[in-house]
Structure 1
Amino acid sequence: MAERRPQVVAHRGASADQAEHTLAAYVVALDQGADALECDVRLTADGHLVCVHDRDLRRTAQQRRLVSSMELTELEQLDFGAWKHPWAELDDEAPDADPERNKVLTLRRLLQTVADYPRPVELAIETKHPTRYAGLVERRLVDLLDEFGWAGDGSPARVMSFSWVALRRIRRLAPALRLVFLMDSPLDWARTRPLAEPDWIAGPGIELLQKHPEMIRRIRRAGTELHVWTVNSRVDLDLCLDHGVSAVITDRPQQMLDYLHA
């Protein structure tokens, strides 16, 4: 029997093609056949979870303000897509962009998009820390997942974080959710093991596979699942396949799927 191929997870949507974390990026990723969607979540000043990576808006919305200091209605006035294609308005052949798809994306709307999609799609949701709201982020996340019936067994969602404290909060609030501990240092896994639980998934960056393959092999030999970010080339994908990676998180879901099918 052929081995099961790794799950292809669209990193902030199809973010090589469209502005990250916009509805446009996620719709393209779904159309390309992504198995799952990855997003980062932050809490606004009025308590809404929004899909934004950076703590401030300088890179994605050209604003010198913090996401946590703004209300949702303020964020909705901003264009989160223009930075990706700054010359689009001068291109007569470019398709008309839907401004609604380049607004700030709430996690609620992303969950609804997945719930309404005609095939099963999973979600990998990263909570960002440190933040002024601390554990409130995880509490709001679990409450929202619960509204969709996705906080228990069989949920299509899993929660990721570089913070083991955040993951332990999720375990207390929703014991059945799958948890991914993200790592960008070769020491992270060893430091966290006494504080983690046996079923946690390891989430190393691709550079850890490249520079510390023996560490990754030890993690796999212990029976731990691997979800790797950010995998954007054939060489990186082959390395993931060699290490038995279960999920590859990529800016280019179409490319990764084409490689796997080939």
Structure 2
Amino acid sequence: MQVVAHRGASHEIAEHTTDAYAEAIRIGADGLECDVRLTADGHLVCVHDRDLRRTAASRGIISAMTLEELNAFDLASWKDPWRDLDDEAPVLDPDRGKVLTLRKLLQMVADADRRVELAIETKHPTRYGGLVERRVAHLLAEFGWTGPESPVRVMSFSFTALQRMQKLTPGLQLVQLIDKAHHWPMLRRIVDPSWIMGPGIGELRDHPGLGKHLNLHHRRIHVWTVNTQAELELCQSLGVEAVISDRPGYIMDLLRR
């Protein structure tokens, strides 16, 4: 089973930062997961929320801001708000809290001393619509990562977004995310058989029939967000290929045991 670091090693370190991803690579995570949004000046950045309220106490909306404007914010301090009061805390690089671009994260994957996979989730709805997928496809092409051997796969809750990616990068692995079990009967009829299904662990736990039906239809399964032993054991019982976790080190330790 593949263990994928959700927004990096985000249980311990602020999500979507270089530190979180570097730690996930260091501890041996098989893959990394990130969310991407498009800035007003066309940069793909790794940010989950549509605004900065949670991570920078600002109402700024990602899609309405330039990369330069985003770089004025510290997106890491919210994880450790009392750090400035600790006289013994080591001095940190001031750039560590700046917004992470997808290009930089792709370069981290390329520079790793082993194969590290990357699951990119495109966030929708967005004012830019299909431009997000076009920019992702263009950037992956720069790295030569659009074919079946690519370490990258693209995920989305939006079926339309994945259809766009399939046309732009026919060889790339795609993951249809599922946040409601009752969506499965509809998705079963329209989703390409080659696509991976990505249900949330809560839906698998609360609706046991979902996992059974996915197995019945021989679907490959990647699950988010798996953080406990009980959740991992449920995934193992369903033959899940990959688990996305805030605690990749802990999950890998459970698997080793």
Q: Could you say whether these structures have the same fold, taking a TM-score greater than 0.5 normalized by the shorter chain as the test?
A: yes
Which whole-Å CA distance do the structure 2 matches of 1:191 and 1:93 have between them? 56
TM-score, length basis structure 2: 0.98
Which portions of structure 1, spanning 4 or more consecutive aligned residues, are displaced by more than 4 angstroms? none
Q: What residue in structure 1 maps to residue 72 of structure 2?
A: 77
Deviations 1:216-240 (A, max 9, x none): 1111121111100000011111111
Which whole-Å CA distance do the structure 1 matches of 2:17 and 2:94 have between them? 10
* Aligned alpha-carbon RMSD (Å): 0.9
User: What code does the residue aligned with 1:73 have?
Assistant: E
Larger mean CA deviation between 88-97 and 11-20 belongs to 88-97
User: What code does the residue aligned with 1:97 have?
Assistant: L
Which whole-Å CA distance do the structure 1 matches of 2:197 and 2:183 have between them? 10
Q: CA deviation at 1:101?
A: 2.1
Q: What residue in structure 2 maps to residue 90 of structure 1?
A: 85
User: What code does the residue aligned with 2:200 have?
Assistant: G
Which whole-Å CA distance do the structure 1 matches of 2:113 and 2:73 have between them? 30
Deviations 1:113-165 (A, max 9, x none): 00001011000000000000000000000000000000112010000000000
Q: CA deviation at 1:96?
A: 2.6
Q: CA deviation at 1:95?
A: 2.9
Q: What residue in structure 2 maps to residue 46 of structure 1?
A: 41
5+ residue gaps, structure 2, are none
Q: What residue in structure 2 maps to residue 231 of structure 1?
A: 226
SS in 2 for 1:8: strand
Instruction: Percent identity, please.
Output: 59
User: What code does the residue aligned with 1:94 have?
Assistant: A
Q: CA deviation at 1:211?
A: 1.1
Which whole-Å CA distance do the structure 1 matches of 2:90 and 2:218 have between them? 48
Whether 1:107 aligns to 2:102 is: yes
Which whole-Å CA distance do the structure 1 matches of 2:85 and 2:166 have between them? 50
Q: CA deviation at 1:94?
A: 2.6
5+ residue gaps, structure 1, are 1-5
Which whole-Å CA distance do the structure 2 matches of 1:99 and 1:254 have between them? 26
Which whole-Å CA distance do the structure 2 matches of 1:127 and 1:237 have between them? 25
Aligned residues: 257
Q: What residue in structure 1 maps to residue 172 of structure 2?
A: 177
Aligned to 1:23, which of 18, 27, 33?
Answer: 18
SS in 2 for 1:249: strand
Which whole-Å CA distance do the structure 1 matches of 2:16 and 2:156 have between them? 17
Q: What residue in structure 1 maps to residue 118 of structure 2?
A: 123
User: What code does the residue aligned with 1:178 have?
Assistant: Q
